[in-house]
Each structure stands twice: as structure tokens, then as C-alpha cells.
Amino acid sequence: MGARRFYLLTLLLAALLGSAPALAERQLADMSGRLLTLPDTVQRVYAIGHCIPVVAAVAPHKLANNYRLGERALALLAPALREGKVMPAQGMRFSDEEIVTMAPDLIVMEAMPGAGERADRLQEKLKIPVLLIEQDLRDFKRTFHLLGEVLGEPAQAQVLADFVATYLDPIPQLAKRIAPAQRKRVYYAEGPDGLSTNPAGSSHTQVLDFVGGVNVAQVANLPDEGMSSVSLEQIYVWQPDLILVWTPAAEQATTWTAIVDNPLWQRVEAVRSGRVVQIPWLPYSWFDRPPGSNRILGVIWLAELLYPEVYHFDLEAVTREYFSTFYHREPSAEEVRALLALSRPQAGRATP
Amino acid sequence: MNPPSARLAPHLLLRPFGLCLLLALVFAASFAIGRYPVPPLTALQVLAAEILPLDAHWSQEVEAVVLGIRLPRILAALLVGAALSISGTAYQGLFRNPMVSPGILGVSAGASFGAALAILLGYGMAGIQAFAFAGGLLAVGASAAIGAGLGRHGDPLLVMVLAGIIVGTLFTAFVSLVKFVADPYNTLPTITFWLMGSLDTVEMADLALAAWPILLGGAVLQALGWTLNVLCFGDEEARALGLETTRLRLLVIVCATLVTAAAVAISGIIGLVGLIVPHLARMLVGPDHRLLLPVAAALGAGFLLLVDDLARSLFAVEVPLGILTSVIGAPFFLYLLGRSRRGWA
């Protein structure tokens, strides 16, 4: 009975493997302070939701899964991020059994409020250690170092942390020096019609707060997932200096078009004078959703967009460096220009 | 048992008159309510300038706020409030049950599924509305077909209500399925907000489309007012009076469904209005559908307009309308219920 023998062998092997890590494992605290027991060398990581970009940056070969991305997004990633990744059939959720089938030896999850308990339960159920990491823009250096240590990529983690130290770290200091009168007031337009937003303080608009922009929606105590509706007349009252447009179905620029083509929006000065900016969305959004390490480039892009006289970034050079460091593939000069042109959909439509 | 008299008692007509005055007042006041400051008088002048030759001394912003933003929204609140109340009244009469709401045959669940699917597929507002409308009709069509098919030997109404509950549950499950597979960053919040109900995305073009089924269905229901009265007494009495009950009942269901599905398509799910407004209307003018239907329409229109005024003016970001109607409507209704000694139907 070949099949039975095979099962027996598998069982034996599983039992052996189950006891083996006792020889080669280590203890380590994650970013919420939970103590974890990890295998000495982690081979395969399942990154939950918006932890995908950060794990991809540190150890592309070890990442087991990826978002279901379009052709244009995939073309910008290194082969290590395109090939052999498990992708959800729809949306981005995997069932417990799909996770087990993926056979990761580590799960990486974001340290959101209440995540500790969820991580413990998941870990208990799947018998796979769950590592919690911070994705606040101010924590990324620590996150990279921790992931570098856990995944055995300390050198790459150092490169990533250096990128953050060079470009991101000076920003809050410079932002503090911008006079209140000089601060740009920004409306973040979400939803198919642009009449949904996330107010200041939300994790979805942290990039804006970080570079010293003022979110016109100052509303306390809203659920963080946000997308609260706003009436257009409220936007008349706010009269933002700039409108940032989110990125669903961005290929068609649905929301951007809904705003720019609607005569009622023309009563907003920013729309009349063409200051409606589409957030670049390749390979992931640069600003939000997922709120992961993809936002690091968004910080630099938005800083330069709002206050070129304060920050003086060479956007093309930084974009190229970011893509080769975080997505492991150096884009051509033409690709970089096309990426930056995504923020102006009409100009973007002209280029193929 | 006598059928209801063919004439309406004159003393009952006084209250609807007062109601209409009140509605007109709320309607006018609504143009002056909102986040953008517009003086009440200016708001009315902007409106009047559409028909009268007035000098425009106001800014373009004010004109855009009053005519472009508030007018469609106010009309939408009136239309949706009236639609939900009319269909609620018709259903409660038809099923002879005070607990029935417009969603009883699954129209809301079907519309929710249609809308969620359209959002998942990345369609714009027009697609969402079309899918919601079609989903609502599909769900009620399924309930009615099951009711007609299985109810032949029993109580067809009871079977239809049961079928409606089952179909509704099924479509709610489909909504959950769509939410489950939806991208939690972009699609899921959009679906969740649509399900909470709101009028902030309604534009004149949407209104013009949705108004047809609502006005048509409402007019036919109004014409069937006396028939509804008779149907309330039960099938045997209705047949004794020479009514083709099965066909008439189907006609009422078709009309009420058209009305509800069109309303839900532009507003999302707005709870409680279709359930409580018929009762409030009955407290005011009694159970005669010829008067009850228009009074319920006016009451529902006024109620939803008032609540939407709050939804769009309380905070800088809007409170979803479906939440407010329930939070305000439920205690208000219980209060009236405690005070009223009038019967149900």
C-alpha cells in the first residue's frame, strides 16, 4: 500500500520536524512586546494585509503571498515579488486552511489596537508564530531592523533603514518650521464621487500630517477605517488649497474625473485652478490603503508637492532609488517619469 | 361586516391640510439649512429667481449650494420618504399585519446585494443604482413566485411572507459574501457606507430616473385605495364584493416593489421609515387607504427631510441617514404609541 506508507512517512517526518525546532529556535520580542519562539532560519512568511510591502522590501524571496495586482503594477516589481506568490482569488483574505496550505513558518501582522489578542489566538490555532510589527511612519526603522533580524536579512534592513534616515527623518523637523499661514490645506477625496474622506489623525492620512499639511477635515472620534461622507457645501466652506484623490479603479481615474468634470465642483477654487491631484497608485498606492511601507515614497512625493521650497527633493532620483531598494527592480528613467505623471491623469492618458 | 363607506368623513380632511402646511414649511426651511452659510431669505430668493425675474445679488457659490447641492437632496428626501411610507402602508394593508415593512418581500436585501455587487465590480453611481433597482425587483420576484407556486393550497399570503424572509436572508448572505471577498481598504468601506443609507450622492439626473417608478407606482396604489380597504377585510369578503383578489394583490405588490426599489436604489438602506410612518398616518387619519396613502406619503416625506437636514448639518462629516432615522424615529414612535389610544388598523 503505497499511499499508506506515504502517510506514515509524512507523519513521521512531521513528528521529527515538530521536535526539531527545539534544537534550532530562538526567543524574541515583537513590537507589541509579545515574546515569540521562532525557528532559527525563517524560510517562508505570510504577510497579512498591509504588511505585504514591508516584508517584500526586507526579504522578497521569503514572502509567500502578494496582492492580486494588475499588469502595470507587476511590471514594476522584481521577479522575486512576481513569481510563485500565493494570491487571493478575490479581495485579500485567506482562510486558515489556505494559510496552512501556504505553509509559512512565520506570520507577520500589524500591531494595531487589539492585535495582540488576535495574534495569540491565531498562533494558538495554526501553531505558527505571529510577529506583530508597527507601521507608523515614525517606527519604520525599528520595523526594518526587527524584520531583518527575524528573516536573516540584516544588511538589506540596514539599507532600508538608511533610506528612511536619509529622506524621512529630517521631514518632521522641517515641517515644524513651516509657518501656520504657509501651511497647505488639503482635502482627501475618497469614494466614487470624491465625497468621502478620512479626517486628521486617522492612520489613513498620516502621510499628510507627517509632511506638515493641514487636513481640512478636523473631526474627532471617528472610526479609523473612515470614509465618512462629506457634503459638497462643506467643501465650499473649507475651500482647500489642494485636493488629493484616492486610488481605486485608478486606471480609469473614476474619482478624479467625477470631481474635475462636475460643474458643482468648479465652485471650489482648487478645482477651478487645476489643483486636483491623483495619488500615484503603482504598484501600490503611495499615500494610503494599504497604509504600509509603500507610503514612505508617498511622504517624499507629497512633501515635494506641497512645499517644494522647504524640502528640495529630486523626485525622479528618489523614486528610482525607492523602487530599486523596496521593490528590488530599478525602473528606467522613462518609467520613473510615467510613475510621477500618474498624478496628472490627463497628462497620464497621453502616454501609453 | 360592512365594507368601508365610499365617502370620506369631512372632519378627517382637516388634519391632512395642516400636515401639508407643515410640510411646506419644512421644505422651505430646508433650503436654509446646511454647512455653507446661506441666509434664509437669500435661499428663497435664489429659488424664486428660477421663475421670477430677480436680480442675482448673491455669489455663484450660494447659487450652487442652493440649486446644485440642496435642491436635489431635498427633493430626494421627499421622494424617498414618501416612497418608503407609501409602500409600507400598502404592504401593511395587504398583509393585514402591522409589523410589515417595505423590506418584507426581500426588496432591501436584493437591492443591497445589487449595489454591493456593482461596487465590487467598480461601477460608478449610475451602475450602483441600476444594480440596486434590479436586485430589489429580482428578490421580490423570487418571493412572489415562490408564494404563488407553493401557496396554492394553503394561505398564499403567509407563504409569500415566509418566502420573503427566506429570500431576504439569502440575499443578505450574498451581501456578506461580497463584503467578504471585497478589498477591505477600498471596496468594503464603500459597501458598508452604502448599506447605512445616505442621500449625499443623489443628483438631479438620478432623481429624474427614480421619480418615474415611484410616481407611477404611487399613483396606481392611490387608485387602488378602496381595493386595499377591502383586501384588509380578508379574501372571502373581498371576493364576495366581486374582487379578483389574486390579481389585485399581485398588482399591489408590483407597485409597492417598484416604488421601494427605486427609492432604495438612490438612497441605500434607510430603516424604520416604512414601518412607523404608516402607523403615524393611521393615528392621524384612520385606516381608510384613500386618505391614508397620501397622508403617509406627506408624513414620510416630511420626516425624512427633517432627519436628512440634521444628517447634513450636524457635523462637518455627515451622519449616515439610516442611523439617524432609526435613532430619532424609534423613541419618537414609542412615545406616540404610549400616548395614542387608537387601534392598529
Q: Write down the ipTM of this complex.
A: 0.70
Structure confidence at residue B55 (pLDDT): 82
Structure confidence at residue B339 (pLDDT): 76
Q: Do B35 and A231 touch (CB under 8 A)?
A: yes
Q: Which three cell numbers stand for residue A93?
A: 483574505
How is residue A190 annotated by DSSP?
Answer: B
The answer to whether B68 faces chain A, any CB pair under 8 Å, is yes
Structure confidence at residue A8 (pLDDT): 63
- Under the banding of pLDDT at 50, 70 and 90, the label for residue B341 is low
Task: Identify which of B106, B88, B215, B217 has the alpha carbon closest to the alpha carbon of residue B161.
Answer: B106
Q: Do B69 and A233 touch (CB under 8 A)?
A: yes
Do A20-166 and A171-350 agree at the fold level?
yes
To probe the interface with B, which of A214, A267, A285 has the most B CB atoms within 10 Å?
A267
Write the residue in A193, A219, A248 that is nearest to B315 by C-beta. Answer: A219
pLDDT tens-place string over residues B144-184: 899 888 877 777 788 888 999 999 999 999 999 998 888 77
The answer to whether B181 faces chain A, any CB pair under 8 Å, is yes
Q: What pTM does this model have? A: 0.78
Spatial distance between the Cα atoms of B25 and B261, rounded to a whole number of angstroms: 28
For A20-166, CATH number? Answer: 3.40.50.1980
Write the residue in B125, B184, B193 that is nearest to A91 by C-beta. Answer: B184
Task: Identify which of B182, B189, B319, B340 has the alpha carbon closest to the alpha carbon of residue B276.
Answer: B340
Task: Identify which of A303, A330, A305 has the alpha carbon closest to the alpha carbon of residue A319.
Answer: A330
Cα distance from A106 to chain B (closest Cα, Å)?
23
* Number of Cβ pairs < 8 A linking chain A and chain B: 103
Task: Identify which of A223, A171, A169 has the alpha carbon closest to the alpha carbon of residue A196.
Answer: A223
The H or E element spanning position A282 is: none
Spatial distance between the Cα atoms of B85 and B281, rounded to a whole number of angstroms: 9
Structure confidence at residue A280 (pLDDT): 93
Q: Do B317 and A230 touch (CB under 8 A)?
A: yes
Structure confidence at residue B315 (pLDDT): 83
Cα distance from A153 to chain B (closest Cα, Å)?
30
The answer to whether B288 faces chain A, any CB pair under 8 Å, is no
Write the residue in B124, B183, B200 that is nearest to A229 by C-beta. Answer: B200
The answer to whether B321 faces chain A, any CB pair under 8 Å, is no
Write the residue in B35, B181, B318 that is nearest to A90 by C-beta. Answer: B181
Structure confidence at residue B124 (pLDDT): 72
Spatial distance between the Cα atoms of B209 and B316, rounded to a whole number of angstroms: 30
Q: Do B193 and A229 touch (CB under 8 A)?
A: yes
Q: Which CATH superfamily does the domain covering A171-350 fall into?
A: Nitrogenase molybdenum iron protein domain (3.40.50.1980)
The answer to whether B70 faces chain A, any CB pair under 8 Å, is yes
Q: Do B70 and A191 touch (CB under 8 A)?
A: no
pLDDT tens-place string over residues B34-49: 989 899 999 999 999 9
Domain ranges of chain A: 20-166, 171-350
The answer to whether A257 faces chain B, any CB pair under 8 Å, is no
Spatial distance between the Cα atoms of A54 and A294, rounded to a whole number of angstroms: 8
Q: Do B201 and A197 touch (CB under 8 A)?
A: no
The answer to whether A87 faces chain B, any CB pair under 8 Å, is no
| B6 vs B283: which has the higher pLDDT | B283
Q: Which residues 31-60 in chain A show a CB within 8 A of chain B?
A: 49-50
Structure confidence at residue A226 (pLDDT): 66
Domains assigned to chain B: 79-339 (1.10.3470.10)
pLDDT tens-place string over residues B247-293: 888 899 999 999 999 999 999 889 889 999 999 999 889 889 999 99
Q: Do A229 and B318 touch (CB under 8 A)?
A: yes
The one-digit pLDDT tens for each residue of chain A (352 residues) are 456 666 666 665 555 555 444 447 889 999 999 999 999 999 999 999 889 999 999 999 999 998 888 888 999 999 999 888 888 765 556 878 888 889 999 999 999 888 899 999 999 999 999 999 999 999 999 999 999 999 999 999 999 999 999 999 999 999 999 999 999 999 999 887 888 888 887 778 889 999 999 999 887 655 555 677 888 999 999 999 999 998 666 577 778 988 999 899 999 999 999 999 999 988 988 998 788 999 999 999 999 999 999 999 999 999 999 999 999 999 999 999 999 999 988 744 433 3
pLDDT tens-place string over residues B44-67: 999 999 888 888 888 888 988 999
Spatial distance between the Cα atoms of B136 and B257, rounded to a whole number of angstroms: 8
To probe the interface with B, which of A109, A232, A251 has the most B CB atoms within 10 Å?
A232
The answer to whether A254 faces chain B, any CB pair under 8 Å, is yes
Structure confidence at residue A288 (pLDDT): 84
